[in-house]
Amino acid sequence: MPRYRLTVEYDGAPFVGWQRQANGASVQGALETAIEAFAGEAVTVKGAGRTDAGVHASGQVAHVDLAKAWRPDTLRDAANAHLAPRPVAVLDAAAAPDAFDARFSAIRRHYLYRIVDRRPPLALLAGRAWRVPKRLDVAAMDLAAKRLLGRHDFSTFRSAQCQAASPIRTLDRLDVTREGEQILIATDARSFLHNQVRSLAGSLVEVGLGKWSADDLASALARADRKACGPVAPPWGLTLTRVDYPEGAGEG
């Protein structure tokens, strides 16, 4: 069966998350329904990252197997026609080798968490950023963030519902920068634990507000205890921006 690699963007607000669930609409389900509508066959679309309810993506990657060979641009356009008006778009479709797996072939995932620190409510960025009404010390946040880089037990920063076999992860990047009123927390790793990025963002805001020091953040990590985590940041500030693969992976 021909395999295709899809690059997908979506607004996570109306969905229960990426993964198909019985309690509401999912991004995975929307894609499967759209592809089935034109291909005439039931399909399973498998994604690189199982984003939570309300989390967005500008560079999610998925793969799907179809009984019939389609031109990639036809697959892209037909899927998008049947996805409307749901806020999901297939940005690119490409033939992929049978060995390509959107999830297991990935070598790095990139996330961006967006914060706006201002008193007035958000209009243009509503649903796309977390508004914090007090000025944040971005330099302190970035300095503290560097204490979390490397391979650690991230039990403090993972959901109690996380199903990962191990809490050990290697955090390759965690940068905090300011662009005007926006604070951008950019992070990447081979894989993340459930709620890890939102947990890190919430604890870093505690640093930015002066409630925590860099030592406090490092101590929370060392405790490997979920109770040591700061408030978990809301999902709507988080976007999966890119997924990396070995050179040539996913090219049919």
Instruction: List residues with catalytic annotation.
Output: 52
- Helix (H, G, I), strand (E, B), or coil: what is residue 202? helix
Ordered alpha helix ranges (H), 126-252:
138-145, 196-208, 214-223
Strands (E), the chain: 3-10, 46-47, 56-65, 88-96, 108-116, 130-131, 150-153, 168-179, 182-189, 238-244
CA gap 137, 190 in Å, rounded: 28
Place of tokens 């944040």: 136
Q: Which of 233, 161, 170 is nearest to 199 (CA)?
A: 233
| Token pair recorded at residue 69 | 């060979």
Residue type, 61: V
End-to-end CA, the chain: 13
| Token pair recorded at residue 145 | 């963030």
Q: Which of 227, 215, 244 is nearest to 148 (CA)?
A: 215
Residue type, 237: G
